[in-house]
């Protein structure tokens, strides 16, 4: 899936739907929701157009070069005949007078999306857009949460409008580069040749054009500088290159006495912070998705329902009673819920314990008596069952603590908590 489509498919999870209030509250929410919907439609249209414009300009240059290559075959390649057209095309991409494709795209999106933009004519707030603070609509775009993990792959976050737009632009540009690299296998060779022609040109547009060409060439080549097109975009993982294991969440270091010390030079996890940053999405239906692993987790409640945090089961009941009940419902529309294995339970461990539990906030926050899985996220205070038995002594099963991520063995007949999962198969 192309990165821009992925960005807005994910964002669509949190933009639809309204809560029916009365009087002024309903009117305000309706207006803000309509404003956000207009923002999203504008962003989709402009980013798709930006991708198409980039691809078209680069492709037109490369097609002209291809004609020169065919004409010269099999003698030494001379692409000078394509220089004028390529300067024209790359100038449209890189012009520095505020009229580039990127500047026009960003301006139009800002007018409909960014409350801080002078031309903004919507009524939603920054909180509605980012999903921070106290939003005035029930389901904001929540881009700060939804896209943060994704945008880290483009060396940015999504904690502000500008950071989100930088991520969205990077996704669109990567989309265009993917298409070009697939259509023109010799793209890097040809852009190298054209870069030499640009250097010799005296055109008043060549400076902007060459900067754009070199940026495209470097991006297609990727970080390895091996003259092989890199068509990876966004959070897709490449084994051996991308970190697949999630980070622990720790950013603090201590000495042997337990005193906090500067992390530099300690070699502790708080200094290195290896792995992919944890990233979770509350789907609004009682489930949370891990954006790194793709696993979907059951949220827990404090309402006496099947999801209640304090309801415990024996090892066999975790699957035959709890998971079976979720599948019979079917919970959140899915009937493939199961008991996770201990490694899967470890992927949701946050060792910084930001909330008194070794869990991310999406899986433990606002837990109050009577709350449901759509209004809070609770956690059993002790150990939770996994689906894994001990090979050496199969009367014992592995459990994982929600408080500190400890792993422990327990007799199959004792009662423990359980948090169901789906996906990953």
pLDDT-derived band at 28, boundaries 50, 70, 90:
low
What CATH code is assigned to 280-422?
3.10.100
Give pLDDT tens digits for 36-63: 889 889 988 999 999 999 999 999 999 9
Location of structure tokens 């502790």:
268
Pair 69, 26: CB distance under 8 Å? no
The alpha carbon of 260 is separated from its chain's Cα centroid by a whole number of angstroms, namely 32
Location of structure tokens 């904001």:
140
Neighbours of 123 (CB within 10 A): 17
* Per-residue model confidence (pLDDT) at position 224: 61
Residue 14: pLDDT above 60? no
Helix (H) or strand (E) holding 290: strand 287-290
Which of 106-110, 137-141, 340-344, 360-364 shows the lowest per-residue confidence on average (mean pLDDT)? 137-141
Nearest to 270 by CA among 256, 254, 251, 245: 251
* Per-residue model confidence (pLDDT) at position 284: 85
Q: What is the DSSP string of 139-182?
A: S---HHHHTHHHHGGGT---SSHHHHHHHHHHHHHHHHHHHHHH
Give pLDDT tens digits for 121-179: 888 888 777 766 555 555 555 554 445 445 554 444 456 788 778 878 888 888 899 89
Provide CATH 3.10.100 ranges for the chain.
280-422
Which of 150-154, 184-188, 253-257, 332-336 shows the lowest per-residue confidence on average (mean pLDDT)? 150-154
Residue 286: pLDDT above 90? yes
Residue 231: pLDDT above 90? no
Nearest to 296 by CA among 324, 336, 330, 325: 336
* Per-residue model confidence (pLDDT) at position 219: 87
More reliable by pLDDT, 71 or 355: 71
More reliable by pLDDT, 79 or 228: 79
* Per-residue model confidence (pLDDT) at position 311: 96
Residue 305: pLDDT above 90? yes
Average pLDDT over all residues of the chain: 83
Give pLDDT tens digits for 316-352: 999 999 999 999 999 998 999 999 999 999 999 998 8
pLDDT-derived band at 234, boundaries 50, 70, 90:
low
Neighbours of 29 (CB within 10 A): 20
Q: pTM above the 0.85 mark?
A: no
Question: Percent of the chain beyond pLDDT 70?
Answer: 80
* Per-residue model confidence (pLDDT) at position 132: 61
More reliable by pLDDT, 158 or 111: 111
* Per-residue model confidence (pLDDT) at position 289: 86
Is the dihedral angle over the CA atoms 70, 71, 75, 78 positive or is it negative?
Answer: negative
The backbone torsions φ and ψ at residue 280, rounded to the nearest 5 degrees and listed phi first, read: -130, 150
pLDDT-derived band at 34, boundaries 50, 70, 90:
confident
Q: Which residues of 228-247 are buried (b: 16+ CB within 10 A; e: fewer)?
A: ebbeebbbeeeeeeeeeebb
Q: Which residues fall within 8 angstroms of residue 373, CB to CB, at 6 or more apart?
A: 286, 287, 298, 299, 300, 301, 305, 307
More reliable by pLDDT, 340 or 75: 340
């Amino acid at each position: 899936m192309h990165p821009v489509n992925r960005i807005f498919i994910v964002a669509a999870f949190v933009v639809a739907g309204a809560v029916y209030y009365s009087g002024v509250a309903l009117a305000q929410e309706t207006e803000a929701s309509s404003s956000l919907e207009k923002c999203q439609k504008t962003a989709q249209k402009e980013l798709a157009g930006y991708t198409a414009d980039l691809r078209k300009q680069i492709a037109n240059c490369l097609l002209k070069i291809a004609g020169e290559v065919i004409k010269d075959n099999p003698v030494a390649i001379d692409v000078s005949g394509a220089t004028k057209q390529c300067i024209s095309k790359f100038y449209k991409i890189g012009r520095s007078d505020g009229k580039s494709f990127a500047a026009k795209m960003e301006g139009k999106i800002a007018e409909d999306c960014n409350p801080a933009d002078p031309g903004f004519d919507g009524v939603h707030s920054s909180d509605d857009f980012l999903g921070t603070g106290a939003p005035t609509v029930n389901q904001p775009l929540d881009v700060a949460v939804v896209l943060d993990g994704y945008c880290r792959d483009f060396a940015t976050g999504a904690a502000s409008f500008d950071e989100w737009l930088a991520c969205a632009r990077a996704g669109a540009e990567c989309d265009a580069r993917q298409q070009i690299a697939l259509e023109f296998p010799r793209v890097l060779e040809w852009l190298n040749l054209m870069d030499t022609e640009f250097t010799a040109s005296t055109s008043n547009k060549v400076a902007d054009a060459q900067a754009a060409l070199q940026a495209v060439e470097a991006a297609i080549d990727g970080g390895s500088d091996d003259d092989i097109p890199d068509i990876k975009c966004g959070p897709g993982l490449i084994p051996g290159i991308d970190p697949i294991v999630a980070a622990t969440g720790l950013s603090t270091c201590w000495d042997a006495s337990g005193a906090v010390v500067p992390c530099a030079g300690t070699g502790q996890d708080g200094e290195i912070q290896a792995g992919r940053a944890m990233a979770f999405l509350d789907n609004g239906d009682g489930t949370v998705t891990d954006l790194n692993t793709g696993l979907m987790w059951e949220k827990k409640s404090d309402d006496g329902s099947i999801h209640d945090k304090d309801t415990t089961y024996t090892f066999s009941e975790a699957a035959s009673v709890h998971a079976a009940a979720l599948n019979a419902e079917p919970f959140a529309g899915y009937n493939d819920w199961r008991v996770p294995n201990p490694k899967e339970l470890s992927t949701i461990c946050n060792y910084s314990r930001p909330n008194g539990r070794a869990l991310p906030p999406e899986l433990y926050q606002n837990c109050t008596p009577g709350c449901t899985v759509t209004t809070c996220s609770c956690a059993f205070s002790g150990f939770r069952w996994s689906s894994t038995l001990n090979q050496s002594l199969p009367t014992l099963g592995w459990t994982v603590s929600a408080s500190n991520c400890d792993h422990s063995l327990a007799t199959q007949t004792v009662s423990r908590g359980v948090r169901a999962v789906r996906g990953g198969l």
